Amino acid sequence: MPKMRAYTAEPQPVTAAADADAADADHPQAAAAGAEAAATAAKPKAPRKKKVIVEVTERDPTPRRPTPGFPGPRYFKALSWNVNGLRGTLRNAPEALSALAARERPDLLCLQETKLQEMHVADFAALLPGYDAHWSCSTKKKGYSGTVVFTAKPPAETARAAAENGSRKQAKLTAFFGKSASDAVAAAAKDDVAPEAGPIVTGGSAPKVVGVRHGIGADADHGGEGRAITIEYEKFFVVCLYVPNSGQSLERLEYRTTSWDPALRAFVAALEAEGKPVIVTGDLNVAHLDLDIYNAGAPHLKKQAGCTPAERASFDAWVNPAAAEAAPGAPHVRDAFRHLYPAARGCYTYWSARKAGRDTNKGLRLDYFLCTPSLLPKEGQPSAEAAPAELPDSSESSSDTVPIVHDVFHDDITTVGLSDHCPVGLILRLPVVS
């Protein structure tokens, strides 16, 4: 289990008897007050309050690696975030996404649990002017599930889109959220934010999107809930997912482990067979290792969705390198975060809002970047405490013809209060362009 840091909060009462002893005999009024206090002190005391102990789960450092600017390597940045309802997130903080895009400048931003209907998609057309939006909404149930992927436009299109869409953004979003949010929406629609929301790529243009796919195959049983969008780039695929939750009573556990999981693995293997490496990201609704669970070993976890032995074993069979050696013909991926930080503790991406888990870092790691093995550095395994300069150089462990993972990170600070999940990110070092 991760280390716990305990704080004791206990009031230190000053007794009436002590007040009486401190009274100055040369001051009759003070002495009288002291005598009265002493008499009060003789009465039975109320039960002493119990100590309040607050335990905080410690988090090991996982410092972000710098990305050298032009004329250095070119990079691709992807972010994934379960917003737990896009409408609610933007109502509470209309600038949340534009600020995230301005700060991180991702080439791809994947959101889960948008909970929107297809009829609402048009209202968000101007949400991020520098990006194309690819939506997948649930048609089986309203206000449920749903994903969207924003892909960065080329720099020239980004500037033009910001100019064209800036004036429309406030009108559409204000109409959607109502007049009460008009001031906040106006702040989110400022022109000085939109131009910053461009691609992070240095020394070249944004990677070109060559295709978009929905779902995880032809099986209709896995469609209709808006859970999967795949973006095809020239050199790799990115599969953006909101994996089904097994349910509070585990009513979907069997479907999750015996139907969805095998279908997803087969889908990713088919993509890789097309000759490109694959990145899988999103809320995968499983805490793989004990390191990914703040209270690992608690008896109730066996019946908690995302922590059941069946879910964890199913996931392990897909991502564990030992499983790949035991079954070399089966499809396998790697957990990019654990590849870089195999022993990091307290690094969670989800905290229960009902239990105020984020304040004490009592959480789970449910959000991932998984990669086919060819995308990962081959040399060196940094410790959880490694500084950025001590991490293996991605340029030394890859060739100039394939992308390679440069960094994986959790943004668990800037989005506090906006969702019960935090954004996670991955940066690829792109091949040299001849």
**Residue 233's beta-bridge partner residues?**
209
pLDDT value, residue 327: 77
Q: What is the pLDDT of residues 286-306, one digit of tens each?
A: 999 999 999 999 999 999 999
pLDDT value, residue 17: 43
Q: Phi then psi for 14, rounded to 5 degrees?
A: -100, 120
CA gap 23, 39 in Å, rounded:
14
Q: Rounded to 5 degrees, what angle do the CA atoms 109, 110, 116 make?
A: 120
What residues contact 5, with CB distance under 8 A and at least 6 apart? Answer: 55, 56, 57, 58
pLDDT value, residue 5: 67
pLDDT value, residue 52: 64
Which residue ranges make up the annotated binding site for Mg(2+)?
A: 82, 113, 283, 285, 420-421
In which residue are the tokens 């929406």 written? 185
CA gap 393, 379 in Å, rounded:
8
CA gap 137, 142 in Å, rounded:
9
**Residue 238's beta-bridge partner residues?**
231, 279
pLDDT value, residue 123: 86
Low-confidence stretches of the chain (pLDDT < 50) are 9, 11-12, 14-33, 167, 170-171, 174, 176-197, 200-203, 381-391, 394-398, 434
pLDDT value, residue 7: 54
- Which structural domains are found in the chain, ordered by start? 4-55 (no CATH), 61-429 (3.60.10.10)
Catalytic sites, residue numbers = 242, 283, 421
Q: What is the pLDDT of residues 314-332, one digit of tens each?
A: 999 999 988 877 777 778 9
- Dig out the tokens for 358 from the structure: 């984020």
Which residue ranges make up the annotated binding site?
A: 82, 113, 283, 285, 420-421
